[in-house]
Chain A
Amino acid sequence: MTRRASLAMALSLGLLPLASGCLRFQRLIIEIDVVAHQAAYHFVDVATEDEPDDDAARLIAYAHADDVREVTDVVDAFWTTTVGKRVTATSERIDADLALTFRHLYEIGISSVDAAHPYRFCVPALLDRIPIASTNADARDRRGCVVWSASARLLRIELATTTAPDPVLRARLYARYRELLR
């Protein structure tokens, strides 16, 4: 499979990119409007899992510097359309928001159980250490995914870890990111 296709897959699954490298986050709130075909992701306390490398710092810097040309090229070539991005970074915490529109629910990793339960969210394998803390789903399945009935409109999921990022690593990531912005 081509890199581009795998990238599209990662993007389509929405959450995978953040965990596919060394980045982690402490909390992620997802809101999906299945009627308006809009989704919002709020990442809280983005950090590295271990010693921050330049790639991690650079991507935050890229984000801050609005260097999204290549990303736009890629994203627009596939399904989702990013309509809003924002990074809030301090030495204490780096947060990020992403808002996007989509055409099909499968673009953002929502699958179905059956016609009565057309919406199902499973924590992607790469995020399996980040459990679902709360949700407005109607039920969970035997695999630990959450499902909504056909009457649902707004799907809300909150993933959260209990482990705060190492403050030293976080500060190093922030410092390196600031250097790259110069």
Chain B
Amino acid sequence: MTGVRATLVAVVAVLGCHAPPSTTPRATPAAPPPPDRAFAALPVLADEPPDERDLFDMFVARYVASGFPEARDVELELAEIAMIPYTSRAKVITRRFLGDGPAVREHLPIVSGFAYGHRLDAAPRDDAAYRAFMTVTIAHEIAHAIAFLHHDQDQDGWREETRAMALERAALHDAVRAGALPATTIADFDRFQHTLLAAAPPGLVASLPTDPDARRALFIAQYPTVLAGMGGDPSRPHPSPAAVDTVLALYTVVRLELAAVPSPSLASLVARFKPMPAGTP
């Protein structure tokens, strides 16, 4: 489906004409809702806890300080949606994972079902590790967004992902060095990778190729299947659990390999990107 087509379908979904609603879902509250007020008349919420947008802003600042001023153009969409963060048109969409809101409490089970074939359902609960993982995914997605802005998204999905993983790692270390994240975040993040490894089917990790070309070929062969199987409805059977396991194990193995070697500075990775296209504001 082309982008235009997808947009079209999406808009039709909103505007699609059917018979007039037979049951207009207007609320029938027990008590009348409060009257509307102008936005400016609303009081500002006191003691608002930090949320994911603070982490996003922090990573954008780290990328900018490291030589990616275009990171300022990356936008964040925040939702309590059970979906892997992704970028589109230099936009990062991430889901809530901080705080004690109702969706946050059911976050991990939804993510487990959505992206991990429920393999995390039985994993030992480790909130710090999970939060660290989600925190770093924001840096990962900003990396993809920067690649988009540079017109430097690698059509080879494996190279694109491994580059984003190198950048996320560098951004994590950079944020810790700058005091923007607790030093324990690195260990928390790595611990979650071990949780993922432990949740993988027995023998899978050992069976993965170590040769870079073989890994790339395996990833490229399985990745489309995994993407096609992603969905938000847990009642939908996943079409290929084996492919999901393989792809996610490849991510995890690469992340652990990156953890085992000194991380290059975020600034040093700037040179790996194409220059911004001429005429880019």
Contact = CB atoms under 8 A, between A and B. Distances in A.
A158 to B, nearest CB: 7
Interface string B56-93: 00000000000000000001111111111010100101
Closest 6 CB pairs of A and B: A84-B21, A112-B101, A38-B25, A106-B80, A17-B10, A33-B27
Interface string A102-137: 001111011111110110001011000001111111
A113 B27 contact: no
B34 interface: yes
A65 to B, nearest CB: 7
B26 interface: yes
Contact of A131 (B14, B30, B39, B101): B39
A6 interface: yes
B10 A7 contact: yes
A85 B79 contact: no
B84 A114 contact: no
A50 interface: no
A44 interface: no
Contact of B43 (A63, A118, A124, A139): A139
Q: Chain A interface: which size bin?
A: 35 or more
Contacts of A104: 80, 103
Interface string B224-247: 000110111100100000000000
A99 B8 CA distance: 19
A143 B53 contact: yes
A129 to B, nearest CB: 13
B35 A68 contact: no
B104 interface: yes
B207 interface: no
A77 B13 CA distance: 13
Nearest to A70: B9
B102 A60 contact: no
Nearest to A84: B21
A3 interface: yes
Contact of B232 (A40, A79, A118, A141): A79
8 contacts: A68-B18, A82-B16, A84-B25, A111-B78, A125-B76, A138-B42, A138-B43, A154-B27
What DSSP secondary structure best describes chain B's contact surface? loop
A2 B21 CA distance: 31
B7 interface: yes
A4 B226 CA distance: 12
Interface of A: 1-14, 16-18, 20-21, 23, 31, 33, 35-36, 38-41, 43, 46, 55, 58-60, 62-68, 70-71, 74-75, 77-79, 82-87, 96-101, 104-107, 109-115, 117-118, 122, 124-125, 131-143, 146-147, 152-154, 156, 158
Contacts of A152: 33
Given A63-B17, A131-B39, A154-B33, A39 B25 contact: yes
B260 interface: no
Contacts of A131: 39
B156 interface: no
B21 A158 contact: no
Interface residues of B, number: 73
Contacts of A114: 49, 99-101
Given A39-B25, A99-B21, A104-B103, A124 B77 contact: yes
Interface string B29-50: 1110111111100111100110
B11 interface: yes
A174 B64 CA distance: 45
A16 to B, nearest CB: 8
B7 A20 contact: yes
B110 to A, nearest CB: 9
B79 to A, nearest CB: 6
B20 A106 contact: no
A133 B38 contact: yes
B13 A106 contact: no
Contacts of B230: 1-2, 5
B22 interface: yes
B81 A9 contact: yes
A81 to B, nearest CB: 11
